[in-house]
Amino acid sequence: MSVNTKIPAQFEKMIEGLTATKKGNGTSRRDFLKGSGVLMVSFSMAGLAEANALSSKSANGSAAATQALGPYLNPGPDPRQLDSWVAILPDGTAMFYSGKTDNGQGLEIAFRQLMADELDLAFRQTRMIMGDTALTCDQNGMSASSALQRAGLPLRRACAEARRVLLDLAAAKFSVPVGDLTVSQGLVSVKADSSKKATYQELIAGRKFNTTLTWNGTYGNGLDVSGVAKVKTNQELQITGQSIPREDIPLIATGRFTFAMDVKVPGMLHARSVKPPVAGAKLISIDDSTVKSLPGFVQVVNAGNYVAVVAEREEQAIRAAELLKTEWEKPSKAAFPTSDDLYDYVKRTPPLSNPNPNQTGNVDAAFAAAAQVVEAEYHQCFTSHASFTPGCAVADPRNGQMTVWSGDQKAYAQRRGIAALLNMPLEQVRVIWVMGPGSYGRNDAGDIGLETAFIASKVGRPVRLQSMRHEGIAWDPKGAGGVMKIKGALDAQGNLTALDQESIWATANNQVDNAPNTPLETLIGQMMGLRYPSLRLGNAGNPPQNYDIPNKRSRVKQVPIGLDAESPIRAANLRAPQALQTAFASESFIDELAFAAKADPLEFRLRHRPATGTNARARGIAALKAAAEAFGWEPRIGHKPLGAGPIVTGRGIGARNGGRNGAVSVQIAEVEVNIETGYVRVKRWVIAYDTGLVVNPEGLRNVLQGQTLMAASRVMSEEVTFDTEKVTSVDWITYPIATHLDAPDRFDIVFVNGDLNPNRGDLPHYEGGEESTGDPGPAIANAIFDATGVRLRRVPMTPARVLAGLKALQG
């Protein structure tokens, strides 16, 4: 079987949009592409690269960008129509529609609580559809733990408007003013004559609302609508603030819940992809004679370096993928540095971005006058999403439409990517979000959705594709690694007078953004030969500077890491991008400064926090005090004397307090350290969290607990290891994650000024989860130092590194 090196037919129209940009040697881009078999994409306004850039702006609320997307953005239902958001069903329940997705946080329950309150319905009278591109408006799916914050108010406004229309219908029916009506659990009655009553379904009588809302013209996170009616004040909400349990938990616990990997379609085939043996390899030949005679074998699908096998049953596809004979040509040079060399590599590699530093005050003068200067360097490894189940999707190409069931958290972005990959009109592509094994940024679900659709388009039948475990960890997009250098100046009184920060991240690539908007950002697209014309910069940053420091300077550099495409080392969004990495450094360093200043770590933080104001920085003081009180913090200067062991204990603070989307978080960890084995276990977590209006207290507690355990796993156990050819951490042995044995004895969670506190007025609901991502790492590192005197500046903080630190202390 010959290798298909031609540009696939579905890209012919895309090629017409290529510019004649020249390469450095004078060869035209088109001539170069013909010779290399690689499609370098540099589209005009109608092209994919521009569409991707514009869709990113659209997701952040740019109406102009949304309009410019043209054929690459079909919003689905009309946001201006009330019927796009809510419907009263014949059984009396209300169906709500949202373009957000619930990846296990309990978001659906919280949305239904808010909307039931606005409609005066009981919670049991509500239902919800989320993330179906044919039925919901484009609200950008899950994004930055901000679904309630960004989408909650538009949904509440739609329901308030629906209530107004229904009450108007009742007023007309009973010939009374609206003010003479009362409503409870969807039953409208006349206050003076309770015999005059009608249910919502009787009033709407199976019709549509046919009511127009005011829309801000934006899709994605910034989409907003409003009607004539006003939403209720926080004090009027009754269902909001209750801990209504999730309805999916009993089904999940008993194995009856339908996840994305459980979706089945009649006549469905099964597929497995065949990855290259090393990164950057070029496919030379395929010998399908090794699989043609296998039971159930259907077809080999090939385009460029992309290879997949299709069979009638899943085990048959797995076997065919194992036996298919392929020949690959290794690249002439190393694909990337080794993971052991990562930190030296990023420091010696010329950056693609080296902007002028952000500076306040006279930093150099402050350091020159300092009584004491403290310096430290922190190392952050690459981490995998390591979703508990590898990526899986089902695609059905029948009836002139491509329908894809996917666990990707951004259904609309995946729809755009599929339409572009297959050169299909958007209206012929439907993505139906089905809960997957988690995502929290960009895991392999984005890649798998496009792969499955491509395979289905080739075989003409429904196809289910699932990655294998080793592929899910090795080839998924990764959380970025890098180096942070920090220097601080203390005066004679121990006050922090200057801070100088430099971050260097291996995030410049030709790889992925935060959503599969185009094939260029997916593994299959790159293996088929699609490229951006140049490397792009990823998510990179320094920690928020939320301390009162008169002289500050920060610089962020980005370097490429090996291959610019088709690489398993792809920097992408992973749960509060860069927050975990930067907070580990910045909040560990605050403790190092407190130690140098001979100050208690809590007192040092409070001393350098702004004391007035209502923003997230000032609200951090209340969170610090609340966490300390809940923990029972006792002031102490320096670390505890190392005990005889084998178990010693310590406490540490993590207080990134970035004010991410308005939220504030502080965490205190109490750890046990076995000084004989180096094993560290957090025995107690205290979390103080300010998220404004708390819609579902128990749901938020669950999110914070899960987020804390996830972040702790990343800083204590997880590290993507690789040699110069491939990822070597490919399973739960080589890429260990936290287990039940690592769980703490207790969580103490305090909502700071949360719930329905009348002293806060009508606070909105801020984000719930990501702001706490950065706290566990430094809290654990600071607690280890408190218990042992060992300062760890590299994650993961493994037992071996703890023992090495103890040995170094002992001389």
Contact assessment for residue 462 and residue 397, using Cβ atoms and an 8 Å cutoff: yes
The mean pLDDT of 309-317, rounded to a whole number, is 98
Omega of the bond leading into 533 within 30 degrees of 0 (cis): no
- Mean pLDDT, the chain, whole residue set: 86
What whole-number distance in Å separates Cα of residue 17 and Cα of residue 19?
Answer: 6
Q: 145-204, pLDDT tens digit by residue? A: 778 888 899 999 999 999 999 999 999 999 999 999 999 999 999 999 999 999 999 999
Contact assessment for residue 111 and residue 152, using Cβ atoms and an 8 Å cutoff: yes
- Domain range for 742: 581-809
Q: Which amino acid is at 293?
A: S
CA 379 to chain centre: 22
592 lies in the same domain as 535: no
311 lies in the same domain as 460: yes
pLDDT-based confidence at residue 758 (cuts at 50, 70, 90): very low
Tokens of 13: 């129209």
| pLDDT score of 392 more than 80 | yes
266 lies in the same domain as 252: no
Tokens of 566: 């088709």
Residue 683 has phi, psi (to 5 degrees) of -90, -20
- Any idea how long the chain is? 811
Beta pairing class for 530-531 and 39-40: parallel
452: Cβ–Cβ under 8 A, 6 or more apart, which residues?
271, 393, 394, 395, 404, 406, 463, 464, 465
Q: Which of 500, 531, 560 is the last residue of a domain?
A: 560
pLDDT-based confidence at residue 536 (cuts at 50, 70, 90): low
| pLDDT score of 50 more than 50 | no
Range among 12-16, 369-373, 467-471 with highest mean pLDDT value: 369-373
pLDDT-based confidence at residue 423 (cuts at 50, 70, 90): very high
| pLDDT score of 742 more than 70 | yes
Residue identified by tokens 């156990």 is 717
648 lies in the same domain as 672: yes
What's the pLDDT at 739? 93
163 lies in the same domain as 239: yes
Residue 282 has phi, psi (to 5 degrees) of -110, 130
**Helices 147-174, 107-119: inter-axial angle, 10-degree rounding:** 30
Q: Which amino acid is at 614?
A: T
What is the C-alpha radius of gyration for the chain, rounded to an integer number of angstroms? 28
499 lies in the same domain as 646: no
List Cα–Cα distances, 794 to 376, 638, 811, in angstroms: 11, 21, 20
What whole-number distance in Å separates Cα of residue 640 and Cα of residue 629?
Answer: 20
pLDDT-based confidence at residue 564 (cuts at 50, 70, 90): confident
CA neighbor of 450 nearest in space, from 563, 264, 306: 306
717: Cβ–Cβ under 8 A, 6 or more apart, which residues?
736, 737, 738, 742, 796, 798
490 lies in the same domain as 402: no
Range among 10-19, 143-152, 359-368, 660-669 with highest mean pLDDT value: 359-368
746 lies in the same domain as 666: yes
The mean pLDDT of 378-382, rounded to a whole number, is 96
Q: Please give the sequence-ordered ranges of beta strands (E in DSSP) within 659-754, or none if there are none.
A: 664-674, 680-690, 746-751
Omega of the bond leading into 295 within 30 degrees of 0 (cis): no
Q: 653-685, pLDDT tens digit by residue? A: 999 766 667 788 999 999 999 999 999 999 999
Describe the strand order of the beta sheet including 94-98 as a list of residue ranges. 86-88, 94-98, 126-130
DSSP state of 81: B
What whole-number distance in Å separates Cα of residue 510 and Cα of residue 523?
Answer: 11
Q: Mean pLDDT lowest for which of 364-368, 626-630, 751-755?
A: 751-755
**Assigned domain for 505 exists:** yes
* 763/311: higher pLDDT: 311
| pLDDT score of 51 more than 50 | no
**Helices 411-422, 445-459: inter-axial angle, 10-degree rounding:** 40
61: Cβ–Cβ under 8 A, 6 or more apart, which residues?
218, 220, 221, 222, 223
CATH of the domain at 520: 3.30.365
Residue identified by tokens 């500050």 is 552
What whole-number distance in Å separates Cα of residue 704 and Cα of residue 708?
Answer: 6
Q: Map 484-523 to HEC letters.
A: EEEEEEECCCCCEEEEEEEEEEEEEECCCCCCCCCHHHCH
What pTM value is reported for the model? 0.90
pLDDT-based confidence at residue 49 (cuts at 50, 70, 90): very low
CATH of the domain at 734: 3.30.365.10
Percentages helix, strand, coil for the chain (3-state, rounded to 5) are 35, 25, 45
**Assigned domain for 565 exists:** no
797 lies in the same domain as 758: yes
**Helices 579-596, 776-788: inter-axial angle, 10-degree rounding:** 30
Which helix (H) or strand (E) covers residue 460, if one does?
Answer: none
Q: Which amino acid is at 294?
A: L
What's the pLDDT at 575? 82
What's the pLDDT at 539? 67
Percent of the chain with pLDDT over 70: 85
If DSSP codes are grouped into helix, strand and coil, which group holds residue 779? helix
pLDDT-based confidence at residue 30 (cuts at 50, 70, 90): very low
Q: How many CB atoms lie within 10 A of CB 583?
A: 27
Omega of the bond leading into 796 within 30 degrees of 0 (cis): yes
The mean pLDDT of 360-367, rounded to a whole number, is 97
649 lies in the same domain as 737: yes
Q: Which amino acid is at 335?
A: A
Q: Which amino acid is at 40?
A: M
**Assigned domain for 34 exists:** no
**Assigned domain for 665 exists:** yes
537 lies in the same domain as 432: no
**Assigned domain for 11 exists:** no
Residue 500, judged by CB atoms within 10 A of its CB (0-12, 13-18, 19+), counts as: buried
| pLDDT score of 720 more than 80 | yes
What whole-number distance in Å separates Cα of residue 462 and Cα of residue 455?
Answer: 9
361 lies in the same domain as 421: no
Phi-psi region of 160 (alpha: psi -120 to 50; beta: other; left: phi over 0): alpha
Residue 383 has phi, psi (to 5 degrees) of -130, 150
| pLDDT score of 26 more than 50 | no
Tokens of 371: 């009584």
Helix intervals (H) in 767-810: 776-788, 799-809
CA neighbor of 513 nearest in space, from 573, 577, 557: 573
pLDDT-based confidence at residue 36 (cuts at 50, 70, 90): very low
If DSSP codes are grouped into helix, strand and coil, which group holds residue 211? coil
**Assigned domain for 4 exists:** no
Contact assessment for residue 556 and residue 540, using Cβ atoms and an 8 Å cutoff: yes
What whole-number distance in Å separates Cα of residue 300 and Cα of residue 190?
Answer: 69
pLDDT-based confidence at residue 272 (cuts at 50, 70, 90): very high
pLDDT-based confidence at residue 43 (cuts at 50, 70, 90): very low
**Assigned domain for 573 exists:** no
List Cα–Cα distances, 293 to 271, 272, 298, 324, in angstroms: 17, 17, 10, 11
Helix intervals (H) in 185-340: 200-204, 249-253, 314-323
Contact assessment for residue 309 and residue 274, using Cβ atoms and an 8 Å cutoff: yes
**Assigned domain for 26 exists:** no
What's the pLDDT at 658? 64
Percent of the chain with pLDDT over 90: 69
| pLDDT score of 760 more than 70 | no
Q: Which of 560, 593, 626 is the last residue of a domain?
A: 560
The mean pLDDT of 358-379, rounded to a whole number, is 97
How many structural domains compose the chain? 4
What's the pLDDT at 14? 39
Residue 215 has phi, psi (to 5 degrees) of -120, 140
CA neighbor of 416 nearest in space, from 44, 56, 43: 56
| pLDDT score of 738 more than 70 | yes
